[in-house]
C-alpha cells in the first residue's frame, strides 16, 4: 500500500534530514519513486 511507503519515508526523513520539509537525501521523483542522494 502506498500510504505505508509514504509514512515510512516521512519517518526516515524526520530522522536523517536536517530539514525534513526540504529533503536533501531522500528525494521523491514524481511518477518514478524515491531515491537516495549522496551527501556532497
pLDDT for 11-37, tens place per residue? 999 999 999 999 999 999 999 999 999
Measured between alpha carbons, how far is 39 from 28 in angstroms, rounded to an integer? 16
* Residues ≥6 apart with Cβ < 8 Å to 34: 9, 26, 27, 28
* pTM of the predicted model as reported, rounded to 2 decimal places: 0.81
In angstroms, the Cα distances linking 11 to 14, 18, 40 are: 5, 13, 23
Q: From CA 31, how far away is CA 28, in angstroms rounded?
A: 9
Amino acid at each position: 500500500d502506498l500510504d505505508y511507503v509514504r509514512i515510512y519515508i516521512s519517518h526516515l526523513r524526520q530522522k536523517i534530514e536536517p530539514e525534513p520539509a526540504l529533503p536533501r537525501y531522500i528525494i521523491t521523483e514524481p511518477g518514478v519513486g524515491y531515491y537516495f542522494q549522496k551527501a556532497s
